Structure 1
Amino acid sequence: MLFGTIVGSLADKQGRKRACVTYCITYILSCITKHSPQYHILMLGRVLGGIATSLLFSAFESWLVAEHNKRGFEQQWLSITFSKAIFLGNGLAAILSGLVGNLLVFTFGFGPVAPFDAAACLLAIGMAIILSSWTENFGDPSENKDLLLQFKGAAVAIASDEKIALLGAIQSLFEGSMYTFVFLWTPALSPNDEEIPHGFIFATFMLASMLGSSLAARLLARSSPRVESYMQIVFSISAASLLLPIVTNWLVDPAEVKGGGISFSGCIQVLSFCVFEACVGIFWPSIMKMRSQYIPEEARSTIMNFFRIPLNVFVCVVLYNVNAFPITVMFGMCSIFLCVACILQRRLMVISDRPKTDVYEFEDRDTEAEPLNI
């Protein structure tokens, strides 16, 4: 939240390509720190990891949108690219990474840090590709590189455009619920220390996410329904899917024996969690599409990192108090946030449907008032 927001926002002024290279370097360094048992070095690795994460979620998308528009490609291709990125990157690559990491640790016996070393190698390859084949693009072309003014400009853009503010709130609410879910699904499926196949279940979640991104590709390829319309349904379904653990807790008697395999209620919850992951798969390319439509090019990375501030605050508060509330309360809170996201999405659809009207300002002249279209 602190370091990543500042560094991630520099991409608009210093260059998106340079920011993507910085991502590779900072995460390679973060991976290297995993070899140390010293706390302060590990904490430095987390700072570097936070910076890298902010760059990952803003600089790459900003570079892509700017490059796509600069080359005059069709806007529809952008939606296809986003869908393929989620399908191959968040889905297939995540499954393959898990398998490779498991192979390095258990089959070859390289130890628990081996996956980070493999990640560093892939990051180095990615950095070489970026340096050799990407062109640079910027957000604000002015020479003024004052970061405070840049933040102020982004804040004014959010405050003055309701669509941008709604988009930021929707993103924070959904991603906050999603990251909270990451910490909740394991204890939810094994409340009595049941032996659950974590790797298999995670792979199933990723398959559901891939299915969702594939569905999003088909939805985005059509002119109707619009992304602002169908995302209301997605948020409603995701809210209902996270309510199911609460319902099963009321209707199904908990097992009294410790250990054993996954329970009947656990199996039902796995199905609901797969539905939620499918919604996540639809969410990513859809929110990317809406960001490309509503966020101004000159401050794209800065505004996207602004969106992550309430998200990170929310996740920190949840993790700090995770033991203070029953798990059903946490799921209920996430479901409420998703319902609010649905309401805000409805508002976004309504104002995006309004016809655009020209705004005029009149400048007094000696002879007459002349309208200047702005």
Structure 2
Amino acid sequence: MEVFYFMVFGALAAVVAAVELSKSNKDRINTTSAFNSFKNNYLLVYSLMMAGDWLQGPYVYYLYSTYGYGKGDIGQLFIAGFGSSMLFGTIVGSLADKQGRKRASVTYCITYILSCITKHSPHYKVLMLGRILGGIATSLLFSAFESWLVAEHNKRGFEQQWLSITFSKAIFLGNGLVAIISGLFGNLLVDTLSLGPVAPFDAASCFLAIGMAIIISSWTENYGDPSENKDLLTQFKGAATAIASDEKIALLGAIQSLFEGSMYTFVFLWTPALSPNGEEIPHGFIFATFMLASMLGSSLASRLMARASPRVESYMQIVFVISAAALLLPILTTMFVTPSKVKGGGISFSGCLQLLGFCTFEACVGIFWPSIMKMRSQYIPEEARSTIMNFFRIPLNIFVCVVLYNVSCWLYLIKISELPKSEANAC
């Protein structure tokens, strides 16, 4: 089965390279040196921020388990993180419009570094504090940086169309190449150098500190609505009014929450979907394959957004249909392919089909991110950009918390069903 993984990875790598090399003049936008300098500065900072995030992801669950915590305790920690993002993160993220997006970006770095430091402690309360800080940082990551970019881009008088270049490159690098390199680097620290599961968090702190130094030294401050007479509650009411009064903003929020909710559900469930009987699958290699598929999607998005037709709103309808079809594969394979009863072993035939579908979904995710960024830049008013973007994350975080809770219950029931009858009754 190793040959199958290499075939999928190699095919995706070849397609990504072909897409990048085949870009014609229609797919390229002529820009200025001033814009290129601005874009490269932002991409460097964004890549460092994403490296700090990606380095932690694969080792959070593993670290908690090495401290001796079970699925129930770990599930509570994860739910606390998303709950924090929904509650505290929304408040802190919304302050970016009033207090400044540069300050909010620096706050992200400080908050996430503190979250990484808490991972050195095996105490549950300290780890819970780390998850709360991490939830706040996540809200800032997905609102403050984009808000600063859009405002600064417009303030410097760059062409509106050039934003799509920065968006697509940010996803190509931050959610693709940086994710793959971070996974390999984390594996080097933990397995090859045997530095322990806390090492990726220390490395993440270093990248975040470097990025923070660049922000402080090279970024200028910008605001949404810095007026003195508006408190946070008034700001929230203004954002809610903007969403309620403009159907396009409300629909944009629904699109984002629903698609990202599906994406996070996929993150939780792709492992049990590919290994329902405990099959041995190379998680790191599959993750790298998913990230490569996402890079392919961002490359396609850059070509689509460089052209006047089709509009983002038009081609995204097709992307959502393909995404839904790809995530239907686990249901279809369960219905039409006889499941294997053998425990362990390599990935099954139905698992191979699902893997191809999951790669298709990840390619759609790669198209989704820069496209939704462009739509947000068009429809969300500047004076409340960060506030509205964090409003969009409230239903998303509620959805993810519900899914996490039900997945934890589902895994617990599966565990009970595999026990002898006497022990299952005791549970």
| TM-score interval for Structure 1 and Structure 2 normalised by the shorter chain | 0.7 to 0.9
Structure 2 letter corresponding to 1:129: I
* Alignment of 1:223 onto 2:322: no
CA contact (8 A) 2:99 2:226 kept: no
Does 1:127 pair with 2:212? Answer: yes
Whichever residue aligns with residue 65 of structure 1, its letter is: V
Relative to the length of structure 2, the TM-score reads 0.76
Tell me which residue corresponds to 1:105: 190
Q: Which residue of 2 aligns with 1:24?
A: 109
Conservation of the 8 A alpha-carbon contact between 2:280 and 2:346: yes
Matched residue, 1:73? 158
Deviation larger for 230-239 or 141-150 = 141-150
Partner residue of 2:326?
241
What SS does structure 2 have at the residue aligned with 1:258? Answer: coil
Q: Does 1:14 align with 2:14?
A: no
In structure 2, C-alpha distance between the alignment counterparts of 1:106 and 1:171, rounded to whole Å: 37
Residue from 275, 278, 292 that aligns with 1:190? 275
Q: CA deviation at 1:143?
A: 1.3
SS state of the match for residue 245, structure 1? helix
Aligned residue number for residue 5 of structure 1: 90
Alignment gaps of 5+ in structure 1: 327-374
2:348 matched residue in structure 1:
263
| Distance across 1 between alignment mates of 2:381 and 2:198 | 41
SS in 1 for 2:407: coil
* TM-score, normalisation: structure 1: 0.86
Does residue 169 (structure 1) correspond to residue 250 (structure 2)? The answer is no
Structure 1 residue aligned with 2:395: 310
Deviation for aligned residue 1:218: 0.2
- Give 1:323 deviation, angstroms: 5.2
CA RMSD of aligned residues (A): 0.9
Whether 1:82 and 2:167 are equivalent positions in the alignment is yes
| Sequence identity percentage | 88
1:272 to 357, 381, 395: 357
Q: Distance between the aligned counterparts of 1:211 and 1:14, measured in 2?
A: 37
Contact 2:143-2:389 within 8 A present in 1 as well = yes
Q: How much does 1:324 deviate?
A: 5.5
Higher helix share: 2
Which residue matches 1:333? none
- Offset at 1:141? 3.0
In 2, distance between residues paired with 1:292 and 1:218?
18
2:335 corresponds, among 235, 250, 262, to 250
Q: Which runs of 5+ in 2 are unaligned?
A: 1-85, 412-427
Structure 2 counterpart of 1:113, which letter? V
Q: 1:149 to 1:51 in 2, by over 3 A?
A: same
SS of residue matched to 1:322: helix
Which aligned segments of 4 or more residues in structure 1 are displaced greater than 3 angstroms?
Answer: 323-326
The answer to whether the 8 Å contact 2:89/2:138 transfers is yes
Tell me the matched-pair count: 326
CA distance in 1, matches of 2:408, 2:120: 30
Deviations 1:336-374 (A, max 9, x none): xxxxxxxxxxxxxxxxxxxxxxxxxxxxxxxxxxxxxxx
Deviations 1:288-312 (A, max 9, x none): 0000000000000000000000000
Q: How far does residue 180 in structure 1 lie from its aligned partner after superposition?
A: 0.5
